Structure 1
């Protein structure tokens, strides 16, 4: 990767809808040369996909929860079940396995507290969890998908 690849990635992570013509002008390449570079970045997996970011608030999803989980189950079968269950639940938008005192952290986006409780009840019905604690987000100060290129 060179500086042109970095420029391409910086531009498309800000706005994936940029036309190839606009992108090529911004990085100083011909349209075909720019397309080849984007294609290589996509095929190599550096560009994982292109998406539209939606407003959770405008779609009626007014509650974001950060959920911390501790488990006393560290068998592969438990992790496989946890993985399968959380991937089946679209309101769970992020899951991280952590080092330290907390085993997992999840970000859950739902309409309201009742919807969160329904998610919580389904989760504990399907997965044995030692300890779970949840906090609701009062204000989002920063939330970006952009990597610091």
Structure 2
């Protein structure tokens, strides 16, 4: 599959992001195409990795994970061993739902979900701050989600 999606692919992807369980016949009707053409497009996008999985979205608060923390991590050094070790350890923490490397003053930003502030404090002291090479961690607790979506606006081209 080419790097770019066409208009039909974009319409399919945008609708699937709204409801991944939409029946194929309804999806085909909404994009004005045949069921077989839509099914083939979905299969191609899955094989190409454009569609990387199907999941259920949870309400974090109702699931008992009401505290969202953004942790900015600075490392002591950027050696061959320190950064990969940090990334490997972070991947193993279920509290960390996202981790990104950054350019600039901060090396990593982590999105952490926990039940309460005490749970974050325990995670901070017993796990995150114990990773070799961590110099500084600045944590910010989110108060209100102004926008929280997983939907990407896919456009053709």
Structures share fold, TM-score greater than 0.5: yes
Moved over 2 A (4+): none
Partner of 2:84: 80
Query: Does 2:110 correspond to 1:106?
Result: yes
3-state SS, counterpart of residue 7 of structure 1: helix
Q: Distance in 2 between matches of 1:148 and 1:20?
A: 21
Count of residues in correspondence between the two structures: 149
Contact 2:129 / 2:137 at 8 angstroms: preserved in 1?
no
Q: Distance in 2 between matches of 1:127 and 1:60?
A: 30
Moved more, 113-122 or 133-142: 113-122
Q: Distance in 2 between matches of 1:123 and 1:136?
A: 16
2:19 to 10, 15, 27: 15
Q: Distance in 2 between matches of 1:20 and 1:83?
A: 39
Structure with more relative contact order (C-alpha pairs < 8 Å, separation 6 or more): 2
3-state SS, counterpart of residue 76 of structure 1: coil
The runs of 5 or more residues in structure 1 that have no matched partner are none
Deviations along 1:8-46, whole A, 9 cap, x unmatched? 011111211111111111111111111000000110011
- Alignment RMSD (CA, Å): 1.0
Contact 2:98 / 2:112 at 8 angstroms: preserved in 1?
yes
Partner of 1:95: 99
The runs of 5 or more residues in structure 2 that have no matched partner are none
Query: Does 2:80 correspond to 1:67?
Result: no
Partner of 1:143: 148
Choose between structure 1 and 2: higher helix proportion: 1
Please, what TM-score do these two structures have when normalized by structure 2?
0.91
Q: Distance in 2 between matches of 1:123 and 1:116?
A: 10
3-state SS, counterpart of residue 48 of structure 1: coil
Partner of 1:124: 129
Please, what TM-score do these two structures have when normalized by structure 1?
0.95
